[in-house]
Chain A
Amino acid sequence: MLSERNLKKLDEMKKYYQTSQSLVLPALWMVQEEHGHISEDAMKYVAKLLGVPFGHILGVVTFYTMLHRKPIGRHHVEVCTNVSCMLRGADKIVEHLEKRLGIKMGETSRDRKWTLSEVECMGSCGTAPMFAVGEEYYENLTPEKIDKLIADLERK
């Protein structure tokens, strides 16, 4: 389930941690990076790999909002609606995105290209409003900028 490269990396990380349980989060990140989400089979795999009960893994996966148990769209658009972004027009950004993508907050498009989520403060309050797609941050957004970004991402 995990690539040789990542298994080797996990092995190298062992020396930094007192227990193999500490590798749960790094291992789950690797699974998600390789497979896009963390299935039940993947959780069983990680449980076995690290010698940690399955129930523990499930507890961890459900605790952290960035870990997904279900596949999501190819482009995951995460819009911050917290206070600093709200003050600079996050509502309008949300509205525009919903209209442009044809989906509502929390939905994935039928072609699985887009998932739209509302998120808490992303640490971009000084460049608000913003959204992230994957690890990329898009800041100081305007409707025009969004249209261009969507067109660019559509092609990817």
Chain B
Amino acid sequence: MEKYLLPDIRDLHRIDVYEAHGGYKAFRKALQMKTEDVTEEVKKSGLKGRGGACFPTGLKWTFMPKQSDKPKYLCVNGDESEPGTFKDRQIFEFNPHLMIEGTLIAAYAMGGSISYIYVRGEYGKWIKMIEKALHDAYAKGYIGQNILGSGFSTEIIVHRGAGAYICGEESALMNSIEGDRGYPRVKPPFPAQNGLWGRATTINNVETISNVPLIIDRGWEWYSKIGAPKYPGPILVGVSGHVNKPGVYELPTGVPLLEIIHKYAGGVPGNKAIKAVFPGGSSTMVLRGDQLEGVCMDAESLKAAGSSVGTAGLIVMDEDTDLIKVIARIAKFYYHESCGQCTPCREGTGWLWKILNRFENGEGRWEDIDLLLDVANNVEGNTICALGDAAAWPVQSMVRRFRDEFERRAKIPRPKVLEAVAV
């Protein structure tokens, strides 16, 4: 299919090249539209957030107050730290103006006075690329005061994170911008009522925002016909792990996972069988290799299969993979990244890691298998932010779908009867 987010155009990161290929046309068009109509267009397109939570983008925009005597803000979420996710980086590097144009359209639609592009601290090199692109867009008059003579004014600035997965959570992200530790806030109130500095704020993922110019340029009807009807549009699928050609592939939503793995990512090395996949980053429920038939990279299809689309970071594991080692490493990640505000998450993630570590070292006990589920169930849904769920889901699904692996690795306790005989 034709590529829209990452088309094969040389030097597209340069503003002159971007303009020569129709860049900033959508923004010019939006400036001629009524702000509500821009939001309506996005709403009708069916675009859903690509940051992990899959929330309808246009609907989110309507939560912003129409009239306000205080400034309103937009945050573009480029924290990109979910293991298995490496797609936003491609936009920063190869098509930063698309993200900037989308940000401008969103700011116009919602009356945003300043937009913050929050980028993870490790991406220092890419931050410089974004800053260069912003500089050029300012110089051309696309950002700043009275943009293109329209009377609309808005600013964009990059805010650099400093190494904390939790700052990708929207309220932690706002606290980080406010110069605080990245602690998630209790919701409600939601950001659209009470966001940055207590003012109305909307947070969108980098890829989500980069879809907006396409919708405005070609119309919602065109957009809504791409890919899966209830989760339409182009999507950046990051394939990693045991495949011959790992990388980011731009596809329409709804492509079968097996087709992604075999046709696009070149299949599994040595033609080995697929043991398991995480379809959308390490926090999505793991799927067994033998249950992938007919499952597609689409929110509905993955939900039906017992997982979710997450960030579309597809992690493939072949038949020889030590899944206990994999899940123990993932548990360690969430334990390390828990901000520690809520007891179930702080303690639970530590417990999960410790128990899984026991299994990894051959010290796991039979009863630990159910203990894992018990701990995970007590974390899930009992925390301030969704990191708790993100830590629980992979463990729950791994135990449920690969219980045999745990049983095989458990150090089986000596049967009671024999103990009696020994006495």
Contact = CB atoms under 8 A, between A and B. Distances in A.
Please determine whether chains A and B interact with each other in the same assembly. Answer: yes
Interface of A: 13, 16-19, 21-26, 28-29, 52, 56, 59-60, 63-67, 81-84, 86-88, 119-128, 132, 134-137
Contacts of A122: 122
Nearest to B80: A123
Contacts of B161: 25, 64
B378 interface: no
27 contacts: A16-B114, A16-B116, A18-B197, A19-B178, A19-B197, A25-B159, A25-B162, A29-B121, A60-B180, A63-B181, A64-B163, A65-B163, A66-B162, A82-B330, A83-B241, A86-B325, A87-B241, A88-B242, A120-B165, A121-B85, A122-B122, A123-B120, A124-B86, A125-B85, A126-B86, A127-B246, A135-B124
Interface stretch (B8-16, B288-296, B313-321, B362-370): B313-321
Contact of B315 (A28, A64, A84): A84
Residue of B85, B161, B180, B333 most packed against chain A (CB within 10 A): B180
A40 B365 CA distance: 46
Residue of B238, B240, B317 most packed against chain A (CB within 10 A): B240
Interface of B: 80-86, 88-89, 114, 116, 120-125, 155, 157, 159-165, 176-182, 196-197, 238-242, 246-248, 278, 282, 313, 315, 317, 321, 325-326, 329-330, 333, 336-337
A78 to B, nearest CB: 8
Nearest to A61: B162
Given A26-B160, A59-B181, A128 B240 contact: yes
Contacts of B336: 120
A137 B89 CA distance: 12
Given A65-B162, A87-B326, A135-B125, A126 B81 contact: no
Contacts of A132: 122
Contacts of B315: 83-84, 87, 125
A64 B86 contact: no
Contacts of B179: 19, 21-25, 52, 60
A91 to B, nearest CB: 9
Residue of A16, A88, A121, A122 most packed against chain B (CB within 10 A): A121
Contacts of A121: 81-85, 282, 333
Contact of B241 (A63, A84, A136): A84
A125 B125 contact: no
Contacts of B325: 86
A114 to B, nearest CB: 19
A37 to B, nearest CB: 13
Nearest to A15: B155
B248 A126 contact: yes
A9 to B, nearest CB: 12
B166 to A, nearest CB: 9
Contacts of A83: 83-84, 241, 278, 282, 315, 326, 329-330, 333
Given A81-B329, A121-B82, A123-B89, A87 B162 contact: no
A24 B162 CA distance: 12
A126 B240 contact: yes
Contacts of A86: 325-326, 329
Given A65-B162, A82-B83, A83-B282, A123 B176 contact: no
Nearest to A50: B179
Given A66-B163, A83-B330, 17 more contacts: A17-B177, A19-B179, A64-B163, A64-B182, A66-B162, A83-B278, A84-B83, A84-B84, A86-B325, A87-B242, A121-B81, A121-B282, A122-B122, A125-B313, A126-B238, A127-B246, A128-B240
Contacts of A135: 124-125
B324 to A, nearest CB: 12
B321 A87 contact: yes
Nearest to A137: B125
A83 B83 CA distance: 7
A124 B80 CA distance: 11
Contact of A120 (B83, B177, B240): B83
B345 to A, nearest CB: 16
Contact of A64 (B88, B164, B321, B326): B164
Contacts of A123: 80-81, 85-86, 88-89, 120, 122-123
B160 A25 contact: yes
A128 B243 CA distance: 11
Residue of B80, B83, B88, B181 most packed against chain A (CB within 10 A): B83
A64 B157 contact: no
A85 B125 CA distance: 21
Contacts of A18: 196-197
Contacts of B121: 29, 64, 66
B36 to A, nearest CB: 27
